[in-house]
A and B are shown apart, each in its own frame.
Chain A
């Protein structure tokens, strides 16, 4: 499979502190990579850097073989989508949140309306289309955030602990649904979590980040082990 996103000799230093040092990281077309690690490992900073929202101190990022530069960063960012832990919806209705995102990227009104309806339907929240973002529950808001991200038809989807603030039943339902959609759409995604139990639902590959370095990487089976049941059985990173 072709590389969609690649990073080489990537380093981020903030206020004299090295946040991460990544020698090489490749995200291939259609794969969902989970980046797992303890709090403060540099997962979110790495994700923001790869999503072209933070400029690395050193190194190169390639998007489909094209080197990311100041000149093409906006155009390349428009081929990606990002979902945070909080849904971060604009203070307007659910459907307008999606159409505004599409209009920002120059999608026509009619196409934006069609995509909005399709993805609201897909995430089971079409009945909330006219509801204001502030009136949604946590789970509903996250569904709206995911619908917005998928409506953008991104070539790479970034997910930064999108279920961390949801209760268990909501998290389980969304994980299962999202896993199905990612597989069905063949979406390339990078998924950050500190909870290894979420990995088998979504990921095809895992990278373990610890103190800013990838200390383990491989298929889900290789990294988690075939008998993975519970996060307590894991020792993915040193204490």
Chain B
């Protein structure tokens, strides 16, 4: 209990004193997880809509794979990305290992199936007759997609929130492909793990509290957007 209280005090102190290192880590966390969420949204929403609206050979298998991907272990993704970008890996020449870019790539792989799978479910939840009505209004394919996204926006925003929540809290992939390099690839989760390893539990608790607060504010903003205009 003391660790939590001390951790909370430490978190307040770090915030109030605007500790440079902690601010840097927090900012990097937002940048890496924000970028990976954004890329996942840009790719995952159209992908989910396309799979939901089209019938093609292997669709059932693809949906199973997307759903399977939603529970993909970050450490496995981290290993796969590490193998790709390691010196002897197929993408080793890009020299991306232990960079924030590699971390964002790994997190995108983690968030993409979450955004795609939940978007797919949200679109499938729209009344099929509503889809016909949209076409009857004379919607082009683009307008049809926009109208559908509007109707399914609660579910789609839930997909975005879930995707962001998954990447901001993961540690395995970031540690493996980022390497927790001070001032470069260190983020709140990897810093927390490191402080625990060093036995600095108060600082670890403080970083965890900062992570929770950051997550809470960002998710609250998205939830506000999601619930706007609803009773």
Which residues of chain A have a CB within 8 Å of any CB of chain B?
Answer: 48, 51, 53, 74, 77-78, 80-82, 84, 86, 88, 90-92, 100-101, 104-105, 132, 152, 158
Contact = CB atoms under 8 A, between A and B. Distances in A.
Interface stretch (B12-20, B88-96, B129-137, B188-196): B129-137
Main secondary structure of the interface of B (DSSP, over half): helix
Nearest to A93: B229
Interface residues of B, number: 16
A77 B136 contact: yes
Interface of B: 127, 129-130, 132-133, 135-140, 143, 147, 150-151, 229
Given A84-B129, A84-B133, A91-B151, A104 B229 contact: no
Contacts of B127: 86, 88
Counting chain B CB atoms within 10 Å of each CB, the highest count among A48, A92, A100 belongs to A100
B149 to A, nearest CB: 12
A77 B151 contact: no
Nearest to A78: B138
Contacts of B229: 132
A90 B140 contact: no
Contacts of A81: 136-137
A104 B139 CA distance: 6
Nearest to B138: A78
Nearest to A81: B136
B151 to A, nearest CB: 6
Given A90-B150, A90-B151, A91-B151, A82 B139 contact: no
Contacts of A86: 127, 129
Contact of A88 (B129, B138, B139): B129
B132 A101 contact: no
Nearest first, the 9 A-B pairs at minimum CB distance are A78-B138, A82-B136, A88-B133, A101-B137, A105-B138, A88-B130, A104-B137, A77-B138, A104-B139
Contacts of A105: 137-138
A90 B150 CA distance: 8
Contact of B136 (A80, A90, A132): A80
Contacts of A92: 150
A100 B138 CA distance: 11
A92 B153 CA distance: 12
Given A84-B129, A88-B130, A104-B143, A53 B150 contact: no
A212 B133 CA distance: 23
A84 B137 CA distance: 12
Contacts of A91: 150-151
Counting chain A CB atoms within 10 Å of each CB, the highest count among B127, B133, B135 belongs to B133
Contacts of B138: 74, 77-78, 104-105
Given A91-B150, A158-B136, 9 more contacts: A48-B132, A53-B132, A74-B138, A78-B138, A80-B136, A82-B132, A86-B127, A88-B129, A91-B151
Contacts of A77: 135-136, 138
Given A88-B127, A91-B150, A53 B143 contact: no
Contacts of B151: 90-91
B156 to A, nearest CB: 13
Contacts of A78: 138
Contacts of B147: 90, 100
B140 A74 contact: yes
A81 B137 CA distance: 7
